[in-house]
Structure formats: C-alpha cells, structure tokens
C-alpha cells in the first residue's frame, strides 16, 4: 500500500517502545535450531521435574492437557536480533507444575528431546513469567517451532525458551546450559542486552 | 496458515536444497580460521560417542542458531560448537575425543 507501518519486515525502529535495544522487528517466525527436528508422539511425551532429593514429578500428555490452561499474547526477542510482537500462545504456567513440588534450590536446568539444555533461575520462571506451551496462534505447535510442547520465557532472549522440552531438574548453582557454556549470557535479559559472557 | 509458521528457506525449516536442515562441514572454515592459519575443516576428528572418524568437512553443521553446531554423521551427537559471541569466538570440542591434522 506504500504506507510505512510499524513492524514491517526487518525494519530497525528506535521509536518502537516495545523493542529492546539492538533488536529489529520481524513479522515472520524464524526457526532456529542446533540440531535435527525431533518428532515426538504425544502418546510417548512426558514432562519430568526432578528435585534435589531425587523426587521425580512427571506428567503425561493427558495430564498436561488437563492442567489449567492459559491463553496469552506476548512479544518475543531472539538474541540473533529479531523480535516479534504479539505472539499468541496456549499452555500451562510453570507455577502450576511447581504447586506440589518441595524444593529450596534457586536454579533450574531445562532439557529437551534432542539434548538441548538451558539454565534458568527460579525467579525467572515463577509468578506468571514462564509456561509450557502447546499451541501457537490457535494451532497445535509445529515440530519446527518446538512442538508438541516448548518452554516459553518471553521476558528473556528466546534461546531460553527451549523447544521440545522434556523436563527440568533443580540446581543449587546456576550452571550453564548448551549456549550459556559457549559465550552466551547466563541470564539473557533483552532489555539489559545480556547477550554474551 | 497464519503468520508464517512455515516461513521456509532462510529460516532453516528443512526446505533448503535437498530437503536438509543442515550444511556440510565446510561451513565451519570461516569461523575456525580464527584458531588456525591452516584449514581446520581437513582435520580428522573422532566422535566421542560412537567412535566414527572423519574430517570436519564431513560433519553436519546446524547454523540457524545462536552458534554453529557440528554433529556426527553417524550418530548425530554434538561434536563441536562454535559461537561468535560479541567480540569473542568460542570453540567447544567436548564431543570429539581427538582432532588430528597432517603436518607438512
Ligand atoms: Zn558419533
């Protein structure tokens, strides 16, 4: 139409209040991955939370679907510099998974089908800050985007939102995950540009 | 479909030439040159997981990510990770039990 609208592809725009420093807006949804896309049958899918005492809490796909579901819209920010506004998701808050979990450790390591890992402090995943999601934009989450279910931690860079999530274990120390071991920031707040070591 | 969930090609959704979502190991040549004046993609490595040997150029490199991940052709294990994070190049070789190169 010839009209420059906010958020057209690849446009850097410092006047966008929702855009963290060094990011540009995209309308596409780039797929990033450190390996082949695993195909996980929901009949086989399981999500496990392991405490410091070795207690394992696990949820089958049906268990997961029967937990209280939330639908919400958030902006996401990838460390490779793209941001995407207004992404719509459906899933279960991490608060729900932790309801009957006895732990005092302050850190977690999430792991995925395919072997990916990422570390997250408890304070970044509780109190409505993180979800296990299984729908994007009203559709089942596709394997390329982490389906059947991925972690979503929208206030941190998107490498924290582990695709094909299969569980987490409690950690006493903030040990680094797959990318955090190799140059990327332990925390990853896009507003503070916590990209690298 | 809405909002380009399947935006393909450059996004690495497995729709590149040949239906692959990875590159061959020659893609490592540029960033590895930070570590050696020679071409390290001709170095032979051994997979720590399955024992397969081969030159780095024959690995499968997943590059649509915060860094490059080279995986074993035999078992898919991560052999090498290479990130260009800020002003620093970081090379993680934990998946290789050795890397060997012919002296001239
Ligand atoms: Zn191998």
ipTM: 0.89
Residue B61 CA to ligand 1 center (angstroms) comes to: 14
> Cα-flanking dihedrals φ and ψ of residue A96, to 5°?
-65, -45
Taking the C-alpha atoms of residue B14 and residue B84, their distance in angstroms, rounded to an integer, is 24
Q: What band does B94 get if pLDDT is binned at 50, 70 and 90?
A: very high
Shortest Cα distance, chain A CAs vs residue B39, angstroms? 22
Instruction: Label residue A50 left, alpha or beta by phi (over 0 means left) and psi (-120 to 50 means alpha).
Output: beta
What would the pLDDT profile of A110-121 be if each residue is shown by its tens digit?
A: 999 999 999 999
pLDDT at B63 over 70: yes
Q: Tokens 């050795």 belong to which residue? A: B98
Please provide the DSSP assignment of A109-143 as one string.
EEEETTS-EEEEEGGGTTTTT-EEEEEETTEEPPG
Of A164, A177, A166, A183, residue with least CA distance to A118: A177
* Cβ under 8 Å to A: B residues 32-71: 62, 64-67, 69, 71
Please state, for a pLDDT cut of 90, what percent of chain A lies above it: 92
What would the pLDDT profile of A141-191 be if each residue is shown by its tens digit?
A: 999 999 999 999 999 999 999 999 999 999 999 999 999 999 999 999 999
DSSP state of B30: H
Q: Do A30 and B64 touch (CB under 8 A)?
A: yes
Task: Set out the domains of chain A in order of their start, with CATH numbers.
Answer: 24-28+46-192 (3.90.420.10)
């Amino acid at each position: 139409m010839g009209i420059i609208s906010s958020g057209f592809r690849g446009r850097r725009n410092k006047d966008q209040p929702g855009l963290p420093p060094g990011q540009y807006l995209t309308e596409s949804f780039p797929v990033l991955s450190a390996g082949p896309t695993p195909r996980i049958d929901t009949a086989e899918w399981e999500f496990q939370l392991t405490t410091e005492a070795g207690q394992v809490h696990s949820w089958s796909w049906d268990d997961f679907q029967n937990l209280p579901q939330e639908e919400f819209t958030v902006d996401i920010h990838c460390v490779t510099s793209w941001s995407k506004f207004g992404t719509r998701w459906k899933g279960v808050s991490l608060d729900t998974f932790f309801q009957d979990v006895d732990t005092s450790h302050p850190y977690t390591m999430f792991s995925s089908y395919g072997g990916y890992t990422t570390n997250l402090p408890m304070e970044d995943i509780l109190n409505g800050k993180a979800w296990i999601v299984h729908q994007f934009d009203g559709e089942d989450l596709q394997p390329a985007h982490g389906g059947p279910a991925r972690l979503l931690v929208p206030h941190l860079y998107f490498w924290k939102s582990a695709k094909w999530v299969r569980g987490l274990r409690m950690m006493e120390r903030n040990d680094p995950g797959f990318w955090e071991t190799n140059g990327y920031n332990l925390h990853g707040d896009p507003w503070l540009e916590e990209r690298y070591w | 479909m809405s909002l380009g969930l399947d935006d393909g090609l450059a996004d690495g959704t497995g729709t590149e030439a040949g239906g692959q979502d990875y590159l061959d190991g020659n893609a490592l040549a540029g960033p590895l040159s930070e570590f050696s004046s020679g071409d390290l993609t001709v170095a032979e490595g051994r997979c720590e997981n399955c024992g397969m040997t081969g030159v780095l150029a024959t690995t499968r490199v997943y590059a649509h990510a915060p860094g490059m991940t080279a995986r074993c052709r035999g078992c898919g294990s991560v052999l090498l990770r290479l990130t260009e994070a800020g002003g620093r190049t970081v090379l993680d070789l934990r998946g290789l039990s050795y890397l060997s190169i012919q002296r001239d």
